[in-house]
Structure 1
């Protein structure tokens, strides 16, 4: 420690000089005056006067004592540790690369013991290493990416003290920089920084391996529009590769994957790229698998595929509207659909059957045959939803297409069946494949009792009062609804279905109120059953005057939005903030909508493709949209679906979240 004295810096140096001159002048004048007066008291007066002048001078300049402590430090060192998934691969022997990393850490700590050292991880984003260098166990969880360039770019932007050297500990399997021009890429990432970068290899021998090295998409992904995907394939470790088939598949909740694109990567050297043109028909989060058919001798099959969570946008809604006869309800819905520029509608009536006697030859009835079969086979996947309104498929020869319509819903399509004299049981849908898709049962209802013509006013159920789907309607009309001119008779809601509107008097076989509006899930798709054909009364009737007819559009906009999985109409929001790595614990975040107080909820996680349930957990969601963390444990590689169903005053419609867990 070094102690020194210094004058206060409150006064400029010029004022300190002035104070010193005045103090000296005061002493001189005091001496002259004492000499003129003389006497024995002159010495005492002189002493006290000098002390007073000195005290005044000290009070003006205020000297301070300064203590200085210092220490000699070494150069600052930054150690970057690879935290990507590849460190769990074997090293040169039987050990994993993670174990080799753990053995290196104490050696680094000992070798650089006299140097200030900071340790960070690089993968997706650089972050501090919370473990100890003295601990021979590298415990950092693996991440999907291995982006060294991002860590170096972050270093070049920092405002902290810069290191004089960087040590990178990695196995060399990096996303960035690539395998070509590594030195130039590192210099570009560092920018103007003049820092030495050293490397420590975790392994010297690469395993015989063919892998999907990287997947890149050009621009946003929009439903029904092709997007270009670049797949980079690499071979290493002496594995002989010439041509490697590449395929892109879309995963579904309880159905086999559907192939969307394929190609062949022709390797010239160690890497090759292939362009695939991918078209996805459904908006929202879709799980896409990119896989290769690796040659014999591949020692690391885990990286033969990549699972991507793709956010698919929608620029327009494409609907197929099929009606059995022209009614006020059909006209109101069709007019509203065609008034929306964001909706493409293919709508048609079938006004006669094969049994009708029209007293005319068949070739005189239509100049151009309507492509009904083509619509329900080739073009059906291009529609976001199908509306069957008061339509009986049997007399028109369309029953053969009901299995295709069932598969369409199972693979993510939407279906609305609207009531009328030719719908539900009266439409001959009972005991058909399509009956299993509907959110209500049609079993056990005789055709003679399948329609109730008595007028009634639907009642909003407990689940309906808290459902975002009905919120636009109730905001305009409250809980009051117009009188309906009868209803189709249906049975109990299926497991997992949600009843929003019910009949005030009719009951099902179980004694429950008969559903009038029910929502359900089937496979990857959604279905709606509306048993009445009077929704037009929300548009033109004395009841609709107060809302100026806006209630009809609000009602159908919400129904279609729920079918399209529009977040506005989901009762809960689900997210996976940190992604999912196979074998690493993952956590979901659940937020409730329109919940003013805590409510119980059920979280279910199933495996895509098989529908196998891997987790079921009861939680309590927080009010005010606060997130609730739900640990889902360690999952195997694959695609998964998480559904959340609130259970406050009736079960809400489930909110779904698809995600991928990569190996």
Structure 2
């Protein structure tokens, strides 16, 4: 029998802490009890020192080791070998694969354990959950993902049924898994450590690409979900280039050709055409050995519809892994069809706003307001604010007093039902126009106060930015549909002339989104949803200067996009039944969500007495029915069976009073063909280090494995015939500490010290 110590810290630190703690008690405690009789004083000090001593013993974690002469049962050494596809990467010495290098280490382990009578070696291959294997070979690299978390959880379960002495994990250390195997390894490792199950890890593979390996990967595509026919759609593509220094790579755009293709079927992908100023490809020089570059592309869609797009970095000579060279996206190209009510006084900005009327599907009706002391109310027919009369309302420099309260209330109701509202800048807009404490105060996304209202005889510019200012998109606005003005969007905005001042507007809550600011970061364009409608607050009223200085097309596009966005025309079609899949590009196993609905001849949503049937057509052609559900006035459905890559089509049929509501609506989403193991095959030895540390095991380089196994063999031989009793980890040790502290407290209470 012997005593063993395993201090919380290393031994010198633990001794210093113990001495310091005892010294602190002897220095601070006796003066507090010096007025008591000697016997009581000594007893209290003894109890306090005894409690501190118990804590110090716990800090040193003593154990009694008893030699066991009885024959012990055979324990198991578990070897878990990574069999995922990344282990087939040939980045080892002499061109060996990671798996081949790993097998050399397995042979060392087998040789060291073979002669141990009390130890049994169990070998497993793992990618997700371990599988027993008698003979490991180099070609066992078929796992499509690696889940270290699931493997560690399996170890925990196995330990309840087996006498596991040691666990060795041989892997490249990279966790690459999707649900249900995307389990964080570190919490699982901590649980094993708490159960005294040590995991030793041996790393394989390079953390980067080999010197002779080139790889291009399309990492991200940024494109608006919707666009409009015969309008250039900007695209930004981010590409990672490794091993391509000194070369020029080409990034190109491919578009689905749907001519002669039925709904529910995919068309062929063909290179996008360079027309009408569009640039569907870009050549980018690569200067660094590892570099991420951005390609600015654009596309000119000629016809409306839903398009599947692909963005490809053309493979380099000798590039081995090409599945990550392409990334897909989807966008909907729409046509217009909007009625706009424009209410304003005569001023220069009228000409800029009315450019929206040049769009084929936008009709703008202007209601001029005459200003004057004798005019109390604007001559606007109540019919203007009737339901379904207009899709979008634009309020210019018009004080609230000229619009009767009933009209303002009806306007609020129309927005709540789904109409769009834009309030422009002006001396008598927002708070200056007296819109605080009106029904529109609730609708507008800016802060307003009655004190801001203009005095007609003495107008003030206190709540205005009077200097010229440059309007620029925010980060949120950079890729928002509203702020897209050209192929090189940033450059277009920089070229636009400065505005002649603006209103000072401030978002009133966190739901308001700032899409544009000036160079001093003053908000200029703020958006927010209200009910079923959309609202914009535009602080400017001088976009007419853009037209005067030769930017008519940009001005027209800006105003047309404001109107179309307010009218929800970037998300709807003209069909009675509609469906939208979100997101439209998914990873394998990711849940797909659908939103769908129906509308009558007037465009009003139908939410009562309507039955929907939702089916999903899988890439193989099988139709799977999905159960729809209703939330308020919205209809939703989910689809989880998205393992197979390819195009999925969503078909929605609607019945009302047992009669079909128009044709079936079709939507589409795509599951990307990704290779978790080879898209980014870099090893992650850091993860293996963390697992070993969390369990109290060792992180062992392959060249140090033989020496480690000899040490491990000696430890196992010693522990086979030993029984360890931890003195600090049991109930009576805790009870002793509680009794000491309770006794001291009771005596102090009796003596009036508490």
TM-score (structure 1 length as normaliser)? 0.35
The answer to which structure, 1 or 2, has the higher relative contact order (CA under 8 A, 6+ apart) is 2
Larger Rg: 1
TM-score (structure 2 length as normaliser)? 0.31
